[in-house]
Structure 1
Amino acid sequence: MLIVTDGSKIGGKVGAALSIWKGDTETKTRKLALSNYCTVYQAELLALCVATTEVKKSKSKSFGVYSDSMSALQTITNYDSPHPLAVEARQNIKASFLHGKAVTLHWIKAHAGLKGNERADGLAKEAAENSRKRPDYDRCPISFVKRSLRMTTLEEWNRRYTSGETASVTKLFFPDALVAYVIAEKEYSPSNILHHKS
């Protein structure tokens, strides 16, 4: 049995999917919705995790699980990774092995014309675009939290900067704190500082 997984983010919406094949026949599909703040990486991991759940539930004995996300596959096969989806996937694979099932994970090149991969890609896009239900996965990625905190901090800094009575000379050059931040971030980046030293 062959299970092809994929994740997608379109127009700020995130979806994941899997397409299950027996020979040349697609036997089952799953479309999964994720919260809009989730990443494609999370979608890829969710699809792989759900695929391993399907393996565990199936009566078949041999499975190939395919993904075009090398990073998601590496997370699952890295036993030091504490990501909850990777841990669950590993537990599912172990339980499947204990029940005499052969499970192999494979990386496939994205958009290389493989029927199952193109199908999973289309299903993941549908899951992202047409989702009107409660998300199947809604854990907030750390990158989203960091970005949100940075934007909130910058907006507060800009509010104080523009409404403050001080720094009138600085405001002639930088009327907006956000512009000053962008310039300072570029000028004083670690690579730029190292470049000027050498």
Structure 2
Amino acid sequence: MKPELRPPREQTLDWYQTLFELIDMRSFSNLWFWIMLAVIWSSTSHWVLGVPFDMVVRARRFGEQAQIDLEDMVRINVNRLLYISQVSGLWLLGFTCFGLTTLTLLGFIYRLEFAQAVLLLAFPLSLIALLSLSTARLIQQEDAAGERLQKRLMRHRLYTQIIGMVAIFVTALWGMYQNMTLGPLGG
């Protein structure tokens, strides 16, 4: 009788363990989470009310056709934002509050790190959404154009960057706390 040729028990390949070692599933110790955080805030501060910020700079520098293009883009995006808020604003607000509450409970009551990470991304972005809606209403009420429109967009970008800096700072502090508390193996 021939002995069966099988690798020892310790050498068998456990796919799940290999996958979770290769891709760290803890959010705050994962490099991809921090890359995503940087990309999200970079994109958010570049797109002011759905208009790329370089259009504002170009309109300031060159005026004329660049200003006309900026005003058209802003008018289209302002009308779009205000239409969405009028048609389904309450539903969006309800779902957003439900989602943020769910993430808060899962993250801080049930201590699910992934929910904490998503909440630290989603909550400041919801503040940016409210800021965008407020700015859109102001632009429409003032019928802002020219230099006044540029100033309004620059102020919106400044507030977006301030919210972003605070959000990144809080996320970094919480992430460092989680990594120091849980250690390298996650508990």
When the two structures are superposed, what TM-score results if normalisation uses the length of structure 2? Answer: 0.25
In proportion to residue count, which structure has more helix?
2
| Larger relative strand fraction | 1
**TM-score normalised to structure 1 length:** 0.24
